[in-house]
Amino acid sequence: MKPAFLPSALIALALALAADQGHAGPPVLAPLSGTDRPGSPWQRAGLPRQTKPWTVFSVVTVGAEAVLQVDADNAYGNLLHLLPEDTPATGRRLSWRWRVLKPNPAADLLRKDGDDTPIKVCALFDMPISAVPFLERQLLRLARERSGEPLPTATLCYVWDARLPPGTTVNNAFTRRMRMIVLQGPQAPLQTWQAEQRDLAADFLLLFGKESPTVPPLLGIAVGADADNTHARSQAQVTDLVLH
């Protein structure tokens, strides 16, 4: 199952535990360091036993700012950091800025052979497996057994897409356990920063509310890109990723 996210293979960027001037607070996304690539607690994550080329994540300087650059060349890959157990999603907002430098015109999220995106920001939810529809539940259990990893039951991704208009919601072409909201569409200007802020609980209910009317805890926040199905290339950047 291509888009599966694992505790050791969940996509994500720069999540760290909050330490606001020594005051305990909610988890926030750590700012990028001045190194050439993200380090701990961020971890590269991908498919079980991945043999495909990896998406490349690097820290670059834009003006005076360090930002995450995401390059996918016939590749798949993500960055991840899990959140503490039982981190609530209700009342949390996720904000970030992103831009696409090189789009992937061959991508088509409605098709398996086009299931690629130049940049996505995802939230992973710890929804009880009992809430998953019966057939999908059995497939998920089988996938967990084969991979040896407790794959998440619900993943919500915000995507930048070259075909679908903003506001479009779509299930992942490989699994309904990942569902997407298009935030930037074909009219979005390239190489131009766009600011986003999302209510995670509201978006979970929009996409998964028929399965779970109660918003489950968060497992993690993720950033990724892929171009393995289209055998193409894309490049994007993201910064200011914060969990409020």
Each residue's pLDDT tens digit in the chain (244 positions)?
A: 565 554 433 333 333 333 333 334 444 555 545 466 676 677 888 887 889 999 999 999 998 888 999 999 999 999 987 888 889 999 999 999 999 999 999 999 999 999 999 999 999 999 988 888 888 888 888 877 776 676 789 999 999 999 999 999 999 999 899 999 999 999 999 999 999 999 999 999 999 999 999 999 998 888 999 999 999 999 999 999 988 8
CA dist 4 → 11, 32, 50, 177 (Å): 9, 25, 12, 8
SS3 of 204, please?
helix
Residue ranges of domains in the chain, CATH in brackets = 15-243 (2.60.120.430)
Name the strand (E) or helix (H) holding 87. Answer: strand 76-87
Tokens representing 108 are 């088509």
Estimate to the nearest angstrom the gap between the alpha carbon of 116 and the chain centroid: 12
pTM: 0.86
CA 244 to chain centre: 17
